[in-house]
Structure 1
């Protein structure tokens, strides 16, 4: 998988996972584990990105975040592998919302379109305990 596509899918997986967790959706252990590992890695490289992902994903600059993740994946092969594992786990997750969202991603990456799709998922959603 191309690094930019893996980065985009990983970012969208993390954001979708966090949103589903807040709504009480059940996710597979593998997805939760890989999401935590990716966030832990990013916390060391770009703590402000992780803070925004965890608190206010609607304010996230998706294109910049994907670029940050892609750069780190290019620098660190272990991180790139972790991204791939996260994407694979999300695609195989029994939660239909998550696996369906990830499997619908295009094979040709268009950063602007992906950012718009992700933003549309969160617009208008209100979650008890916080808003997006």
Structure 2
């Protein structure tokens, strides 16, 4: 799976986990650890992005911009790329009940981005398929 899709899934997972925490629901320990690891590595590369993520849901997040920033961080920092991939893989094994709705919001945000429309269309399709359980990360060729 290309970095943009993995970045979107990782970002959606963080937002979904944070939303569940706010409602008092518990998430799996592995998912909790992977989310923390991802945010920690991303914070070293892009602290402004992490700060914006941390403010959700009190302050709306520009999903399109955030996904592009996460993708860029992963391309330049192998630690971010590894944490991002591990989080996406963990979410596949431990699905979050609210992830599908968040991935649809991210897909809509990417759809409104003016540049790279063909790449975004493929990513949007993969996000929708992932949210519906129709894509398996392990069957894809994950390269960051």
Equivalenced residues, count: 111
SS of the residue 1:82 aligns to = helix
The 4+ residue runs of structure 1 with deviation greater than 6 A are 104-107
Give the deviation of 1:78 after TM superposition. 3.0
Gaps of 5+ in 2: 108-120, 129-144
Query: Do the aligned partners of 2:46 and 2:73 also contact (CA within 8 Å) in 1?
Result: no
Structure 1 counterpart of 2:25: 25
Structure 2 counterpart of 1:67: 68
Q: Structure 2 vs 1, CA of residues 96 and 51 (structure 1 numbering), >3 Å: closer, same or farther?
A: closer
TM-score, structure 2 as length reference: 0.65
Gaps of 5+ in 1: 115-132
Rounded to whole Å, the distance in 2 between the matches of 1:62 and 1:85 is: 20
1:109 is the counterpart of 2:128: no
Structural RMSD (CA):
3.0
Structure 1 window deviating more from structure 2 (9-18 vs 44-53): it is 44-53
Structure 2 counterpart of 1:122: none
